[in-house]
């Protein structure tokens, strides 16, 4: 009798443990499938006149999406928003596409929130890219998280598809330190993408093959914190995966 009760107890414990593990797994957000995330937008991009409509893609952020190379020079046509437009037009020749850059050089996400309604939502984007991490080192993780969450939530409430970008390089960063500021911001952005089930363009990872060789990294940079066209191509190539 004692043996039977013991077995029953063990069985209950196993069931409880299994249920607990299952519940825990269900709370863990999964990465968005890049191929399917923009499926509705891609369907629209394939349509021909007179059934097509204008697709607005907004890039909100700091100097990098704005096109700053060696400050104060702004190389709009070699920056990733324009490179993305070129790639999109190759793939979708019948589509009418507006790539709208709402970036401001030197701005962080807290300031980006202050003008979010009037300079981003007013364009009624179909897709919104957010790229502020480089400058968010100035405001810190907590303030940056609140600002990013505000923009994500506002966009989602307006039925806008959101894609977050982790930071592009800064040659002053010690990439050998796994706790460097950009890596911390990268980890936070990755978690936000999972939490809100939105897209992620991992620029930090795209440049990772260069971090061990500072001289090679410089070949992708226009200045210490701005990529050149070669660097912007790496970011654009990651973005275009969502439209393939």
| 3-state DSSP of 215-231 | HHHHCCEEECCEECHHH
Taking only the tens place, the pLDDT of each residue in 219-241 is: 999 999 999 999 999 999 999 99
Report d(CA 20, CA 30) in Å as an integer: 18
- Per-residue confidence (pLDDT) for residue 69, from 0 to 100: 98
Q: Inter-axis angle of helices 80-91 and 229-240, to 10 degrees?
A: 50
How would you label 63-96 residue by residue, b for 16+ Cβ within 10 Å and e otherwise? Answer: bbbbbbbeeeeebeebbbbbbbbebbeeebeebe
> How far apart are alpha carbons 193 and 29 in whole angstroms?
9
Tens digits of per-residue pLDDT, 78-109? Answer: 999 999 999 999 999 999 999 999 999 999 99
Asked if the model's pLDDT at residue 39 lies above 50, the reply is yes
Q: What's the average model confidence in pLDDT over 158-170?
A: 98
Distance of CA 95 to the CA centre of its chain: 24
Query: Which residues 6+ apart lie within 8 Å of 20 measured at CB?
Result: none
Pairing verdict, β 221-223 and 226-227: antiparallel
Give the 3-state secondary structure of residue 50.
coil
Assigned CATH class of 40-243 = alpha beta
pLDDT at 12 over 50: no
pTM beyond 0.85, yes or no: yes
- Work out the angle between the directed axes of helices 140-157 and 181-195 (0-180°, nearest 10): 30
Q: What is the pLDDT of residues 165-183, one digit of tens each?
A: 999 999 999 999 999 999 9
């Amino acid at each position: 009798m004692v043996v039977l009760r013991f077995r029953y107890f063990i069985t209950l414990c196993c069931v409880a443990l299994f249920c607990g593990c299952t519940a825990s797994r269900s709370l863990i957000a999964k990465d968005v499938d890049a191929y399917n995330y923009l499926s509705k937008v891609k369907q629209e991009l394939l349509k021909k006149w007179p059934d097509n409509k204008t697709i607005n893609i907004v890039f909100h952020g700091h100097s990098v999406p704005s096109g700053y190379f060696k400050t104060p020079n702004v190389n709009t046509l070699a920056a990733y928003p324009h490179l993305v437009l070129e790639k999109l037009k190759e793939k979708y020749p019948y589509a009418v596409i507006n790539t709208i850059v709402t970036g401001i050089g030197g701005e962080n996400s807290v300031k980006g929130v202050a003008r979010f309604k009037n300079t981003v939502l007013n364009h009624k984007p179909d897709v919104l890219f957010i790229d502020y991490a480089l400058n968010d080192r100035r405001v810190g993780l907590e303030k940056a998280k609140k600002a990013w969450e505000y923009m994500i939530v506002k966009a989602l409430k307006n039925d806008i598809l959101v894609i977050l970008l982790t930071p592009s390089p800064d040659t002053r960063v010690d990439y050998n330190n796994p706790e460097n500021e950009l890596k911390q911001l990268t980890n936070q952005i990755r978690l936000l993408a999972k939490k809100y089930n939105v897209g992620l363009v991992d620029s930090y990872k795209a440049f990772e093959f260069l971090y061990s060789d500072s001289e090679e990294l410089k070949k992708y940079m226009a200045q210490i914190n701005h990529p050149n066209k070669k660097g912007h191509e790496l970011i654009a190539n990651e973005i275009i995966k969502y439209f393939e």
